[in-house]
Structure 1
Amino acid sequence: MVRNENALPTIDFFSGAGGMSYGFHCHPGFKLVAAVDAELTKPSAKDQSSDCNKTYFANCNIHPRNEVLNYENILEIGAELWPNDVFDGVLLACPPCTDFTRAKPENHLIDGNRNELTSAVANLIFKIRPKYFAYENAREALQGNHAQHLETILHVLQSIGYSYKVEILNLNDFGLPQQRERVILIASRDREVRNLRDLWQGLSIKTAATVGGALERLSVLDLEVPQSLDKRFPQLTEEVLKRIMAIPKDGGSWTDIATTHQELLIPSMKKKIKNGNTGSYGDVYGRMALKQPAPTIKRECSHVGNGRYTHPTENRLLSVGEMAFLQGFPIQFKFAGSQLSNCYRQIGDAVPPLISHQLAWLISWVETGIRPSPRDFCLKNSALSAEQF
């Protein structure tokens, strides 16, 4: 792809496997110049344990700087990556959502250390004054008990005269075949900003974005883009395989076999049945439903026992390529990792490229005044195509 002569330099903090960056990388109006990620699977893990920087390089052609970002060093690193006083480009920053999200029950009470990284981004914005800024996180970053961190960013943006729009969106409304609620913030230093709702104004897709529709499109692309689909998936133990085989196809759950196959239930399942409250636990070992969007794909998606990640009709976990496609990655995206579980973790942690590509075109619209069409903002070889409009 030939980049525009005046392509905007783009820096990605907390770059992960490149989900946010990739959407901009596939737009000729942006040029990735730097990225930073510590490659940690969890705070206590060894450095480079997630292998995400290898994946980033394989797809975005940039070696991210391996650095543990914190409140103290983010300004120093930002100044090293962009030594000029003002950054006439795009700053992407998607700090970890782990300590915001409702998926972790203690987050309602405890303000985890990783939340301060959002406050640190506010300092970085104030320091380098990027022309554009894009942020994505769990919805609780805006609505939860610890929203003061994101409010710090909004306060900084207001104080230095930025135009911005921030909102909580279900990304399924924008073509992602998955129920995924996220807060998205777009800001501009010197132009009136727009949001994804503006991009989709007057547009609608002919059919809802569902698991079945995505897998059907993926099978077509598998023929059109040969040897691209990553068909790897972990093998199941005999015990787990028996449980999965008994669960009804197309949306079934272990709760469907609670009375007929009690011998296949694990102790925690039996306890839930006894208490009469399965709650979200009914999703573990569950199959995805063909006519519905996928549930939120999380970093723990590498095992059928961690959520509703089982194939709708086959007795296995969704493959790396299938899970990535439902997460908005194009079929040709390559995942690197010393362990298969790391590939799944990179997928679940990522900003869906299908969405980040729309954000890139959105910022391009703000920059040029030219509104993009679906043929522009639909990421090539992904779950959303212009033909769906």
Structure 2
Amino acid sequence: MAFLGTLCLILILTTLAGNLSNRLGVPAVIGELLVGIVLGPALLNWVQLNSLVSLFADIGVVILMFLGGLESNLQLLMKYLRPAIVVATSGVIFPVALMGLTSWWWGFTPLESLFIGVIFSATSVSISVAVLKEYHALTTREGATILGAAVADDIIGVILLSLMISLLASQGIQMAGSQPALALVLMEQVVFFVGTYALVKWIAPYLMHLSERLVVPSSVTIMSMVICLGMAWIADIVGLSGAIGAFFAGIAVAHTPYRAVLADHVEPLGNAIFIPVFFVSVGLNMTLDHLVENLGIIVILTVLACVTKLIGCGLGARLSGFSNLSSTVIGTGMIARGEMGLITAQIGHEAGLLGGSDYSAMILVIILATVLAPLLLKQALKHMPTGRPEQAV
């Protein structure tokens, strides 16, 4: 029952912090992230990232991405699929190359440096989705490209992580647990996307229509959550982020007559409990262990974490025909890091590639980049024209 008090404290402080952030003209997610930093091990240490907080956070990111899919335009996503792939690819190359070289120059071994580059290659678009929703930019061409690039980025991240695990094994470094072959992982993901097409085309419309005929309160909302959680679970099984599965579940349900009803029902559920806990959990990951001795590399890598995605993804967008302003929006929308980076860092720590102080530094850089991302995205969005569903700037 102690968790109820923790949850109550989180909800009170995130509500106040979100209100203050909005009054100051700052994205509300910034206030919620800072609540996690203040409450967590970095400062007061009142709240720890235990299993219950992690569970609520996992549900929060799933609901957030489901809502993102619910508000997305599938035709727009398909229209900008090619530039999204270009953006994702260039946005992976730049961090791996520049952050890897910088780490090597700082004194890390070549293998450690490559691993650090891979840590910061993946984007966590969940926080960008919250900012895009707040500024009504999810259905713009920039928003569609960011969302499409996030899907491609997740797949590339899984490939890179699998390759790194294979490389570690070739160096005699054995990982705990068995790792599936890369070919098998890719085949499973192909099956996942084929199933996603079937879900959008046939399965979701049938299930949603069936749910309306059930004599159960909120049956339509319940069925939508079954689809959402089920897709998140399957995506996790095939090596993708559960957030990606939830995003496609939102797209599938959005192509049924129940879209407006679900937005009214699911969004209050997410914003009332689970989504604030997700943002707080990001801040709870931060610790200040070995901060002074690693301050130099933390500052350098934090700057590079932002710059490499901004330039890499922005260049990909520019090569795809976007204007400088649109390219900046797309670049800033891809800066945030998240679960894939944390997982990769943890693997490096378990393999002995990243010692305790280096591991803490990498986690801190991930958190700092994630905190800076919505601020930079908000500044870029301020210059975007409003009032059109598909911006061409």
Structure 2 length normalisation: TM-score? 0.26
Q: Which protein, 1 or 2, shows the higher relative CO under an 8 Å CA cutoff with sep ≥ 6?
A: 2
Per residue, is there more strand in 1 or in 2?
Answer: 1
Structure 1 length normalisation: TM-score? 0.26
